[in-house]
Chain A
Amino acid sequence: MGTDQVLIQRAIEGDERALQTLWSQHSPHIDAVIRRLVGDPDLAADVAQEVWIQIFRALPSYRGESQFGTWAHRIAVNRTLNALRRTRRIAKAEADIEDDTVAVEHDSERSLLAASIEEAANRLSPGARTVFMMHDVEGYTHEEIARELGITPGGSKSQLFKARAKLRRLLAHVVDGLTPDTDPENVAPVF
Chain B
Amino acid sequence: MSHLSSERLAELADGEPTVAEAEHLAACANCAAERSAHRRLLSMALDERDRIAPPLTEWSTLAVELREQGIIADDYAAPTAETSVVPVVQPRRHRRAWLVGLRVAAGLVFAAGFGALGRMSAGASPAPSSKEVTTVASRIFNGSAKQVMPNVFGDQSSPFNSVEDALATLETSQRNYDKAVAFIAAHDSTVQSPEAGEVFRTRLAALDEMAETSRQALSVAPADPVLNQYYLSTLGAREVTLRQLGSVLPPGTRLTRF
Contact = CB atoms under 8 A, between A and B. Distances in A.
A118 B7 contact: no
B20 to A, nearest CB: 16
Contact of B65 (A49, A160, A187): A49
B7 A161 contact: yes
Interface in A128-166: 132, 136-139, 157, 160-162, 164-165
B53 A168 contact: no
Contact of A175 (B4, B37, B54): B37
B49 interface: yes
Interface in B66-87: 66, 69-73, 76, 78
A117 B239 contact: no
A174 B56 CA distance: 28
Contacts of B63: 16, 19-20
Contacts of B41: 164, 167-168, 171, 175
Given A49-B57, A165-B10, A24 B49 contact: no
B218 interface: yes
B194 interface: no
Contacts of A56: 66, 71
Interface of B: 2-11, 13, 30, 33-34, 36-38, 40-42, 44-46, 48-49, 51-57, 59, 61-63, 65-66, 69-73, 76, 78, 208, 211-212, 215, 218-219, 222-223, 228, 231-232, 235-236, 238-239, 242, 251-254
